[in-house]
Chain A
Amino acid sequence: SQQGEEDPQALSIQEGENATMNCSYKTSINNLQWYRQNSGRGLVHLILIRSNEREKHSGRLRVTLDTSKKSSSLLITASRAADTASYFCATASDRGSTLGRLYFGRGTQLTVWP
C-alpha cells in the first residue's frame, strides 16, 4: 500500500502543550502534505513539504521530512482547544502511473482540553 500511516491514532493534551504527530510512508514521494478535518467537515490543507525540503514552518505548525527514513512529523506548538480535529498526512507519488493522486493515512485524532 502507498498509504501513509499516522502515529499515534489518538492524542489528548492540555491547552498550551505541544502536539506531535508522526507519519510514515513506503514509496518515494514528490511531496508530503498535512490536512486537518473537523468532525463532519471537509479537509483543510495545512502545509506541503517537498521531497527536497527538510523542515517547513507555518504559524504554530512545524513539519519535518526525513526521506531516508520515509517519515514526517507535524508539531503544533502552544495548542488551543480549537486545534481539536483529525490530522491526516498525504503523500504525492513521483511515479508516472500514480501521478496526480494523493495517498492518505487514517489520521491522528487530536483532542486539546481547555
Chain B
Amino acid sequence: DGGITQSPKYLFRKEGQNVTLSCEQNLNHDAMYWYRQDPGQGLRLIYYSQIVNDFQKGDIAEGYSVSREKKESFPLTVTSAQKNPTAFYLCASSSSPTLAEQYFGPGTRLTVT
C-alpha cells in the first residue's frame, strides 16, 4: 500500500519532556510538511521540506525541530520550549513542492500534562 503513515496515533507526555512524532511516506514525494491543528481551527504550518537535507520554518516553528535525512522520513520533535504543545499534528507530502495536492497522514494527537 502506498501512503503516508504517522505514529503513534495518541501520545501522552509530561510537561518538560521532548517528544518526537514519526512521519513516513512511500509515495516517493519530494516535499513533506508538518501542520498543527487546534479544536475548531484550520491547519497551521510548522515546518516544511522541499528536498532531502533542507527544510524551512512555517508560521509557528518556535518550540519545534525537524530533520530530513531521508526522502521518506520527516520526524518532528516537540521540545519543552513549546508553550502549548497539546494539539493534533498532521504530516503531509506532495509530489511537487509548488503545484500539487498534498497527501495527509492520519495524524497524531499529542497530550501534554
Contact = CB atoms under 8 A, between A and B. Distances in A.
Interface of A: 3, 30-31, 33, 35, 40-45, 48, 88, 92, 99-102, 104-107
17 contacts: A30-B98, A31-B99, A40-B109, A41-B106, A41-B107, A42-B104, A42-B106, A43-B102, A43-B104, A45-B101, A48-B100, A48-B101, A88-B42, A100-B31, A102-B45, A104-B35, A107-B42
Contacts of B109: 40
Contact of B43 (A31, A88, A99): A88
Contacts of B42: 3, 88, 104-107
Nearest to A34: B101
Interface of B: 6, 31, 33, 35, 40-45, 48, 50, 58, 88, 90, 92, 97-107, 109
A100 B105 CA distance: 18
Contacts of B103: 45
A42 B107 contact: yes
A88 B102 CA distance: 13
A45 B106 contact: no
Contact of B107 (A31, A40, A92): A40
A101 B48 contact: yes
Nearest to B41: A106
Contacts of B58: 101
Given A41-B107, A48-B100, A88-B43, 9 more contacts: A30-B99, A33-B101, A43-B43, A43-B104, A99-B97, A100-B31, A100-B97, A101-B45, A104-B43
A31 B100 CA distance: 9
